Amino acid sequence: MFRPLSLAACAALLLAPLAALASADPHSYAEPGRVRVTHADLDLQVDFDRRELIGNVTLTLDWKDEAAHDLVLDSRDLAIRRIVAVQADGKAGAALPFALAPADKELGSKLTIVAPKHPARVRIYYATSPQASGLQWLQPAQTAGKRQPFMFSQSEAIHARSWVPLQDTPAVRFTYTAHVGAPKALRVVMSALNDAKHPLDGDFRFEQPQPIPSYLLAIAVGDIAVRETGPRSAVYAEPPVADKAAREFEDTERMIAATEQLYGPYRWGRYDILVLPPSFPFGGMENPNMTFATPTVLVGDKSLTSLVAHELAHSWSGNLVTSAAWRHIWLNEGFTSYVENRIVEAVYGKAQADEEFLIAAHELRDEIGAMPENAQRLTPEPRGLGADDALSDVAYTKGAWFLKTLEQRYGREVFDAYLRGYFDHFAFQSIDTGQMLAYLKANLVDRHPGKMRWEEIEAWVYQPGIPADAPLPASPRFARIDAERADFLAGKLAADKLDAHGWNTQEWMYFLDRLPEAVALDKLQALDAAWRLTGTPNAEIGMRWYVHAIAGGDRAAWPAAAEHMTRIGRIYLTLPLYKAFAKTPEGLAYAEQVYAKAKPGYHPITQAAVERVFAKARKAGGKE
């Protein structure tokens, strides 16, 4: 049975060498307690014809164990050509023997480099696989501009190892430089300082002077235009999308300033946003200096720009202070979701911030009881936990809810000062939950006694479920929507009489989220006739509507649902439709037809998620 750490153990962990913590990462073969990578120098060529990155990486090493004879790295599907020690003048020296172990399905292949003389640097010559799990290669037809190919990376959780051999654990932070060759007329961007005025000459150089974990290593190449949105921010996007994206994200500088007012200076120099093609599997990825974002938030009314607030918040929680292993990922995502909500409140008002939190909180409450107990904990036991498994609503929403509880108990002024101190104290470090709790006790709980019992804090972190007294904000607009929904379902209010003309995106999301799982077909058809939900350009509303339409038997909505599924590769907005279709034999057959057409435009991560849905449905139907 999992036992929470004692206060003494928490204090010990606060002082423990990070090398000891890093060695406990079950999702990495690396042994950073023996030798640690401190810098990476990439020299890569982008080959769209072969769908490969070809070149080398030079790793700077800090040998910590005199008895160590090997450097162990993570890799996945890499063609390792040769490895050499690097001389003081930067030239290749003696070749180093190496062994690439058979591949594990999740972890990839352990790369062991024999280096008993402890070279200060090693250079690895390699090429990626066309099927690299962390890269997606798009044909021109799969882009917005239809003229040029596009490639982008997605390294979180443990996909960086599919395009660079390295110590792929969040416990190891390193600086990096890169030289990237690409076809002329295409722009290369990375999770580093980018030059908006760089000539499109096929020769790009980058520097990331701050130490980052491997999952924040990122690259993209394509027909990318730039629009400035502030003195230290810009939007990068395909030309047909650039102006729309710049208008949608024009409040970025206000968000940066609001966060600095709360939690201290932005320490990364620039904050730019790259809007990717629709196949990007996530809403956003907080790559330092260059957030990667989905185009599904470009709805024209800024109602979904909390995504930018979330990725910006990672510049403090996650990128600045990082969880040392994936089972502690709530230290990234829970803190970030809390800070995101505070940014939204500062820029767009408390009503919108409260609505967004209530949507997330209700969704978690609806789902958490069906999760295994271990998955309900902020810090789950590592046994059987995949790296991606930890990235659930528990880490995001329960983590933020815990911090909201602390804010309520200690007061906003006190809690803001604590959180700002936390970011300063652990800046550019990777930590675990024990270290966070030790700092919390010393700097909040002990300094302000009587506000919250330590047992309550431990229950939030280590126990399953959500405490019964978890606070929720009040929303008068949501209360009115609840009443109208109840009257509509009871037949007391016609669909066209709903007072929905002024509903924002969040309010439509809330109305649809709280409908029963199965709504009568005639009521669904009346809703659609009154409010034209089928075919909506708003993907958040569309996802929710199509799930209800499929469940209710509204086959007239199937073609529009298929278009949504084909156009959007973001897992969160697409997978629920596949799950809804897969509940019936005819729906499953239709979804399989849609997937056959959509698959080439999906990221490998999205493909794997959809195929798991099909496999589960076939097994339940006795076909496997």
Binding residue ranges for Zn(2+): 310, 314, 333
Annotated active-site residue in 338, 396, 418, 546: 396
Residue type at 243? D
Calpha distance 369→350 (Å, rounded) = 29
Is residue 439 part of the annotated active site? The answer reads no
Closest by CA to 334, choosing from 347, 352, 351, 316, is 316
Q: Which residues contact 544 (CB under 8 A, 6 or more apart)?
A: 508, 509, 512, 513
Catalytic entry in 311, 340, 355, 507: 311
Residues 6+ apart with CB under 8 A from 69: 114, 115, 116
Q: Phi and psi dihedrals of 114, rounded to 5?
A: -80, 115
Does residue 101 contact residue 162 with C-beta atoms inside 8 Å? no
Peptide bond into 324 cis (omega under 30): no
Residue type, 261: Q
Torsion of CA 470, 476, 480, 486, to 10 degrees: 10
Cα torsion 71, 76, 78, 82 to 10°: value is 10
Spatial distance between the Cα atoms of 322 and 333, rounded to a whole number of angstroms: 10
DSSP 430-443: EE-HHHHHHHHIII
Nearest to 74 by CA among 155, 2, 11, 4: 155
Cα-based torsion angle of the residue sequence 134, 140, 145, 146 in order, rounded to the nearest 10 degrees: -150
3-state SS assignment for residue 539: helix
Is 572 catalytic? The answer is no
- Residues annotated as part of the active site: 311, 396
